Amino acid sequence: MTTKKATIKDVAREAKVSIASVSRVLNGLGGVTADTQEAVRQAAARLHYVPDSAARSLITGRTHTIGAVLPDLYGEFFSELIRGIDLAARARGLHLLVSSSHDGVEDAAAAVRAMRGRVDGLIVLSQFVDQAFLEKNLPADLPAVLLDSPVDNPRYPAINIDNDAGAQAMVGHLLDVGHASVAFITGPSGNFDAQQREKGYRAAMAAHAPHMPLNIIAGDFTEESGYRAGRELLAQRPRPQAVFAANDMMAVGCLYAFKEAGLDVPGDIALAGFDDILIARYVTPALSTVRVSITDLGKSALLLLTGLMEGKAHTSPATRTLGCDVVVRDSCGAHQTDVATINPSRAG
Amino acid sequence: MTTKKATIKDVAREAKVSIASVSRVLNGLGGVTADTQEAVRQAAARLHYVPDSAARSLITGRTHTIGAVLPDLYGEFFSELIRGIDLAARARGLHLLVSSSHDGVEDAAAAVRAMRGRVDGLIVLSQFVDQAFLEKNLPADLPAVLLDSPVDNPRYPAINIDNDAGAQAMVGHLLDVGHASVAFITGPSGNFDAQQREKGYRAAMAAHAPHMPLNIIAGDFTEESGYRAGRELLAQRPRPQAVFAANDMMAVGCLYAFKEAGLDVPGDIALAGFDDILIARYVTPALSTVRVSITDLGKSALLLLTGLMEGKAHTSPATRTLGCDVVVRDSCGAHQTDVATINPSRAG
DNA sequence: ATGAAAGCGCTAACAG
DNA sequence: CTGTTAGCGCTTTCAT
C-alpha cells in the first residue's frame, strides 16, 4: 500500500521510459514498440496507477461527464429517467453528475452554473427553464438538451413526451367505448405536461364530440386534488360518464372519492389517468392510463446530447417527440386489456 | 457572448490586478483592499467568469464531489436514496456523481475504480462489495461508507437498516394480535437485507412462540415469487394464520394468490410485508408493513462520509443502524392504524 | 496589500 | 520510435 498515489512520472521512472511514452501507451496512441508497451503496462499495474482525471480534463478540455439537472421530483419518474440516462451514458464511457432536488428558479440557476466546467454536456428538466434562463445561465459552449420543455430553439434541442397525442387517444378511447360525456381534471397550471394533456383533451372532444360541453376541473397532480375533483364531479347533475385525470395520482384520488360515494368504477363512472405509475396496476379496479417510457426518454436525451457534443449539426427539428401508449385496464369500462401504441413517433 | 470562456487571466487583466489577487478575492481569503475586491468582482461578473473546477481540483486535490455507486435498482428505493444523499450533499456544497445500473462484480469494480480522482468520497451500495473487493478496488486514500453491507471493518464504516429488529417487531405484532401461526417468505438467498429479516422472524418466533414450528417458504423479492409462495401456503394443512413476506412486492403477489383463492384478507389469513413501498397503501386491503426511511439512510450516509472526509476519527462503531417502524394497516387484522417506532436507534 | 513565479499531473507538439 | 518541453487554469508560497 503506497501512501501517496502514483503519478505518470512514477510510472515513467518505474518503466524506465519517458512520461510521453507512458501517456502514449495508456491512451493507445500507437507508435510505441511492444517492449515499451509491456514495460509501461507492468509498471502501471505494479503502482496501481490511475490517471488523474482533473489533470487530464485540464488539458483536454473534456470531462467525460455529463450533467443532469432535475427538479425535486421523486418516485418512478426520477429513478427511471436517471436509469435511462446512466445506462446510455455508461455504454458510451460517460459519467453522470446529477443535481436533483432543487426547487425554484434561483436554485435551478445555481445548479446549472455549478455544472460549468464539470461536464461536457447537460440534460435539463425544469419548469423554470425557459429561453431567457438558458441564455443567462448556460455557458455558450456547453451543449444541452432540454426535457419536457416548451422552449423551441435549435440552440437547445428538446425531447418532449407526446402528451397531446396520448391524451387525445385516451379521450378518443373513452368516447369510443360509449362514454358520451368525459370530464377532465387538469394538472398545475404552470406545468407543460399538464397543459399539453389538456390540449389533447380539448382536441379530442372537438373532434369526436363537438356537441358535448367541455367539463374541466382544476387539479394539481396530487392525489388529494384528485380526491377533491372527484367529489366535485360527483356533485354535478348530470354526472359525467367518464373522467380523465391528467395524471395517475389524481385518478387514484378520484377513485377513492368515487368508492367512498359507493359508486362502481367503471360501472357507474369510468376513469383513466396518465403516466402508468406502478400503482395504476394495483388499485382496484386497475387503472387505465397512458404509458410513457421514461427510460427511453432518458436514453434518447443522452443520445441526442452526445450527438451535439460530437458536433453533429442538429439537422433534425429542434424538438423531438416521444410517443406514448394507451394502456387499457379495468377502470375505463372497455373489456379488453391490450396496449395500443398510438404514436409510433420516437425520439433518438 | 464571448466565444471562449474567460480564465482568471482575463479577469486579472480586466480588473487591472494580478491573478493572485483575483484568486484571493474569489476565494474570500482576505488581505485585499475593498477597492481591489470591487474591481475583481465587477470584472468577473462582466466576463461571466466561472473558475475551472478541473484546474482547481488539480492543485487543491479536492473535487467537492462525492460518488454514489449503486446497483441496477429502480423504483422508490433508488430515487429516495439519491434524493437523501443529494439533498444533504448540496447543503454542504458537494456535487453528486452517480454510477447506478451496474450488475455483476466486474461492473461494480469498474464503477468504483472509475470514481478514482473524480470524487472526494464514496457511498457504496452493492451486494458484490465485500472486504476483499474493497481492498482490491478502493484506493487507500478514498474515504468510503457502505450501505446495507455485512462488512464490519472500521476502515469502511457501514450504515444498515435494522431489518432484524423490524422483522422481529412485525412478527411480534402478528403474534400479539392473535395469529398463532406465522409463515415467512424469504428474499433471495444472497441478499443481506433478506437474511437479516429472516433472522428477525426466527428470533421473534423463538421468543414469542417457541412451540410453533417455523414455516419458511423461499421467495426472491419479486411479486411473482410472492404469488407462488402464496399458493404454496394455501395448500398447507393447516393453513398458517398469518404470512410475513420479506418485502412488500412479494406480499402483494401473495395477496393476489389469496384473493384468487377467494380468501378474505385479513379475515381468513393475515398478511404483512416490509419496505412500505408506495403501493402498500393502495392495494386492498392496505398492506401492513415495516417502514424504512430511505431518505434518512442517504442523508446519514452522506453525513458519515463527510465526517470521514474531514478526517474525523470514527470513534463510533464501524456499523450503524437505522431504525424502522411497524406500519399497521388493514392486512394484518389489527384494528388500529398507528405507526409504532420500534427501534429508535438512529444513524448519523 | 499585491505581484511574480512555481508547480499540480497530464497531453500534445516538436525534436531527435 | 522515443524523449523534451510547453503549457492547460488555478492556488500558493515568497518577495516586494
> What DSSP string describes B4-41?
SPP-HHHHHHHHTS-HHHHHHHHTT---S-HHHHHHHH
Per-residue model confidence (pLDDT) at position A347:
37
Interface test with B, best of A57, A80, A136, A299 (most B CBs within 10 A): A57
Measured between alpha carbons, how far is A91 from A72 in angstroms, rounded to an integer?
A: 27
- Closest listed residue to residue B173, CA positions, set B345, B331, B346: B331
| DSSP SS3 for A21 | helix
Q: Taking the CA atoms of B182, B183, B187 and B188 in sequence, report the sign of the dihedral they define.
A: positive
- Residues near chain C (nucleic strand), Cβ < 7 A? A 7-9, 19-20, 23, 26-27, 29, 49, 51-52, 55-56, 58-60; B 16-21, 24, 30-33, 35-36, 55, 58-59
Measured between alpha carbons, how far is A38 from B227 in angstroms, rounded to an integer?
A: 56
User: H-helix or E-strand containing B224?
Assistant: helix B223-235
Indicate yes or no: strand D within 7 A of the C-beta of B79: no
B313 CA vs C9 C1’ separation (Å): 30
Nucleotide nearest to B32 (CA to C1'): C1
Q: From the list B52, B78, B96, which residue is nearest A117 (CB)?
A: B52
Measured between alpha carbons, how far is A147 from A167 in angstroms, rounded to an integer?
A: 19
Per-residue model confidence (pLDDT) at position A342:
47
Measured between alpha carbons, how far is A323 from A341 in angstroms, rounded to an integer?
A: 8
- Number of other residues whose CB lies within 10 A of the CB of residue A223: 21
Residue B135 or residue B328, greater confidence = B328
Tally C-beta pairs within 8 A across A and B.
140
The per-residue pLDDT for range A3-49, each reduced to its tens digit, is 568 899 999 999 999 999 999 999 998 888 999 999 999 999 999 89
* pTM listed for this prediction: 0.88
Please list the residues that pair with A138 across neighbouring strands: none
Measured between alpha carbons, how far is A157 from A161 in angstroms, rounded to an integer?
A: 14
Per-residue model confidence (pLDDT) at position B322:
93
A50 and B117 within 8 Å at the Cβ level: the answer is yes
3-state secondary structure A29-48: CCCCCHHHHHHHHHHHHHCC
Q: Which residues of A touch B90 (CB under 8 A)?
A: 99, 101-102
Q: From the list A51, A76, A87, which residue is nearest B75 (CB)?
A: A76
A321 CA vs D5 C1’ separation (Å): 51
The phi and psi torsions of A312 (rounded to 5 degrees) equal -60, 130
Do A157 and A190 form a contact (C-beta atoms < 8 A)? no
| DSSP SS3 for B141 | coil
The per-residue pLDDT for range B132-142, each reduced to its tens digit, is 999 888 887 88
B32 CA vs D16 C1’ separation (Å): 16
Q: A336 pLDDT band (50/70/90 cuts)? A: low
| DSSP SS3 for B98 | strand
What CATH code is assigned to B65-161+295-322? 3.40.50.2300
Q: For chain B, where do the domains classified as CATH 1.10.260.40 start and end?
A: 8-60
What is the DSSP secondary-structure string of A72-100? S--SHHHHHHHHHHHHHHHHTT-EEEEEE
Mean pLDDT (chain B, rounded): 90
The residue type found at A242 is A
Q: Where are the alpha helices (DSSP H) in B48-162?
A: 53-60, 76-91, 105-115, 131-137
B5 CA vs C1 C1’ separation (Å): 29
What is the DSSP secondary-structure string of A202-259? HHHHHHH-TTSPP-EE---SSHHHHHHHHHHHHHSSSPPSEEEESSHHHHHHHHHHHH
Measured between alpha carbons, how far is A159 from A124 in angstroms, rounded to an integer?
A: 10
A107 touches chain B (CB under 8 A): no
Per-residue model confidence (pLDDT) at position A85:
95
A80 touches chain B (CB under 8 A): yes
CA-to-CA dists, residue B314 to B145, B301, B311, angstroms: 11, 13, 9
- Residue B60, judged by CB atoms within 10 A of its CB (0-12, 13-18, 19+), counts as exposed
Q: Domain A8-60, what architecture?
A: Orthogonal Bundle (1.10)
Q: B2 pLDDT band (50/70/90 cuts)? A: very low
B279 and A279 within 8 Å at the Cβ level: the answer is yes
Measured between alpha carbons, how far is A23 from A30 in angstroms, rounded to an integer?
A: 10
Per-residue model confidence (pLDDT) at position A314:
57
Please say if the pLDDT value at position B336 is more than 70: no
Nucleotides of C under 7 A from a protein CB: 1-5, 7-13
Q: Domain B163-293+324-341, what architecture?
A: 3-Layer(aba) Sandwich (3.40)
B74 and A76 within 8 Å at the Cβ level: the answer is yes
B25 CA vs D15 C1’ separation (Å): 20
**% chain B with pLDDT above 90:** 72
Contacts of A39 (CB under 8 A, 6+ apart): A15, A16, A17
B14 CA vs D9 C1’ separation (Å): 17
Contacts of B229 (CB under 8 A, 6+ apart): B185, B217, B218, B219, B245, B250, B253, B254, B257
Q: A344 pLDDT band (50/70/90 cuts)? A: very low
The per-residue pLDDT for range A96-155, each reduced to its tens digit, is 999 987 888 988 988 888 888 899 999 999 988 989 999 888 887 889 999 999 998 888
Q: Taking the CA atoms of A225, A227, A233 and A235 in sequence, report the sign of the dihedral they define.
A: negative
Please say if the pLDDT value at position B343 is more than 80: no
Measured between alpha carbons, how far is B332 from B288 in angstroms, rounded to an integer?
A: 6
A150 touches chain B (CB under 8 A): no
Interface of B with A in 28-67 (CB under 8 A): 48, 50-55, 57-58, 63, 65
Per-residue model confidence (pLDDT) at position A272:
98
CA-to-CA dists, residue A93 to A304, B44, B126, angstroms: 15, 34, 21
The per-residue pLDDT for range B210-223, each reduced to its tens digit, is 999 999 999 999 99
Do B119 and B66 form a contact (C-beta atoms < 8 A)? yes
Q: For chain A, where do the domains classified as CATH 3.40.50.2300 start and end?
A: 65-161+295-322, 163-293+324-341
Measured between alpha carbons, how far is B12 from B36 in angstroms, rounded to an integer?
A: 11
